[in-house]
Amino acid sequence: MAGARAAAAASAGSSASSGTPQPQEPGLGELLEEFSRTQYRAKDCSGTGGSKVERIEKRCLELFGRDYCYSVIQNVNGDICGHYPQHIVFLEYESSEKEKDTFQSTVQVSKLQDLVNRSKTARCRGRFVCPVILFKGKKAWEKPNQKTPENHLTLKMRFLSQHICRSATLAGWGELYGRTGYNYIFSGGADDAWADAEDVTEEDCALRSSDTHLFDKVRGYDIKLLRYLSVKYICDLMVENKKVKFGMNVTSSEKVDKAQRYADFTLLSIPYPGCEFFKEYKDRDYMAEGLIFNWKQDYVDAPLSIPDFLTCSLNIDWSQYQSWDLVQQTQNYLKLLLSIINSDDDSGLLVHCISGWDRTPLFISLLRLSLWADGLIHASLKPAEILYLTVAYDWFLFGHMLVDRLSKGEEIFFFCFNFLKHIISEEFSALKIQRRKSLPARDAGFTVEDICMLRRKDRGSTTSLGSDFSLVMESSPGAAGSFTYETVELVPAGAQTQAAWLTALSERETRLQEVRSAFLAAYSSTVGLRAAAPSPSGAIGLLEQFVRGVGLRGTSSSTL
């Protein structure tokens, strides 16, 4: 791994300054054509077809670099995971243009690399816990230990950031033994999936045949990685407790870990239908309304389980989850995830299903687009750019098998972006959730929204509250812990403020609709929708509505 932000910029700058003609940036149409024809594997990127993938990856790095400083976990030729990006981005903090030129990593990259290598065996298919979204939407006030010489107490505002992560579920003993045995044989006897040679003791060798010791060791590294990433909440989308194939438990999950190794995390079981269910969505002419999953199937044994403290503010009757159609279920789960990341200042979130390449990217992509629409992440990206980033990075480079899914009619990928029309309203806005957060200085009665309206009396100008902004207050000798505000005044949050918030929500709707329209147009001209048989009533289906809505024409439904 390396702090590759500056290196990537330098490489791009040197090639541009040399006068060499630069290839045109890959567009969404080119990306979708590649995605629908080829299954991405990191090990295949060195061949002739690898140049297209390299361009896609380079474009993703450039888009991430617009708003963030980042480091890169190197996964060249799939050395860590065969169906993760070759360059896995670790976002560190939001940055201005000036900060990008003086980027200094804030993480121990060697330690993170080591944790990734050690923990990958714990997860199905080696798909380890990987941070993919940096959510920087929380403001906090720090009080220094000492007062200034002028007897002023300075409160500094800082941002608390959270990593939203993705992975596969935990590997079961069948895969775990198979993978560690494979690694042992083909590494010449050096089982680096466990530990470095100097870390292996005689006791380890003696106990390695024990199931308990094996899981303690491997899952212990997984837990260390989760803690390093400050993950507190783990959301499991599986409808099973364990995935069973040929009578063998091939995967497990945190919620059924017998030794309760994950007891210190907040575990949520939010069962969501797998990709097979989305064939029904396609067969219903891409209509998700009224489409309800059959929860009575034999393999479905994971009930919905959410701690009460996470549900009390959502006004959702969770006991009715088996009666929800696909729209309601997806909406309510997204509300839950947004509520979680807004409810805790510095704790991260992990979302996973079984393999982590169907349901997981669905919700990761929806989270990324929803937070972007609110202006909370990727602030400089335009609709076409955020769409390219989430299709390329969240779906293609993390191994979604679009070719296979299309051949089976399991169009969960299309569902994700068509679903944006269902989350444009205020109830899905993270801005709404954040508005009434309280400050530590409760005696003053101010909220974060109020503080953002502060301005200095002596200058009469609005003060920009950056991450290094200091609010200077006179220490009050009359009462401990209270302050007298003499250098600032509060601008009432009246009609002007309210108008600004509605504006924001209207912009959210516009931005998401632009993303959806751009996706539908590109998808129609490249991948194409597979129309179901026309209904006897002659009703206009989604395909015809789409063509009329965006002004496209096609010779047949198969080309749309």
Q: Identity (one letter) of the amino acid at 9?
A: A
pLDDT digits (tens, 9 = 90+) for 512-544: 999 999 999 999 999 987 665 554 444 445 554
**H/E element, 153:** strand 152-167
pLDDT at 483 over 70: no
pLDDT at 475 over 50: no
Interatomic CA distance for residues 241 and 257, integer angstroms:
10
Nearest residue to 427 (alpha-carbon basis) of 325, 336, 322, 366: 336
> 326 and 281 in contact (C-beta within 8 Å)?
yes
Considering only residues 550 and 61, tell me which one the structure prediction assigns the higher pLDDT. Answer: 61
CB atoms within 10 A of CB 532: 17
- Residue 407 banded pLDDT, cuts 50, 70, 90: very high
pLDDT tens-digit series, residues 95-138: 866 566 666 676 788 888 899 999 998 999 999 999 999 987 44
**Can you tell me the distance from the alpha carbon of 332 to that of 25, in angstroms, rounded to the nearest whole number?**
37
Based on C-alpha coordinates, what's the Rg of the chain? 25
pLDDT greater than 70 at residue 57: yes
Across-strand partners of 133?
Answer: 164
Q: Which residue has the tokens 């269910």?
A: 277
pLDDT tens by residue, 178-205: 655 444 333 333 333 333 333 333 333 3
User: 24-28, 206-210, 381-385: which has the minimum mean pLDDT?
Assistant: 206-210
Place of tokens 């009396």: 457
The whole-angstrom separation of Cα 25 and Cα 52 is: 11
Query: Catalytic amino acids?
Result: 353
How far apart are alpha carbons 241 and 341 in whole angstroms? Answer: 25
Tokens standing for residue 526 = 């490249």
User: For residue 264, with 0-12 CB atoms within 10 Å meaning exposed, 13-18 middle and 19 or more buried, which class applies?
Assistant: exposed
**Are residues 95 and 106 in contact, defined by beta-carbon separation less than 8 angstroms?**
no
Overall average pLDDT of the 247-254 stretch: 69
Tens digits of per-residue pLDDT, 257-273?
888 899 999 999 999 99
Residue pair 269/303 in contact (Cβ under 8 Å)? The answer is yes
Q: Structure pTM?
A: 0.76
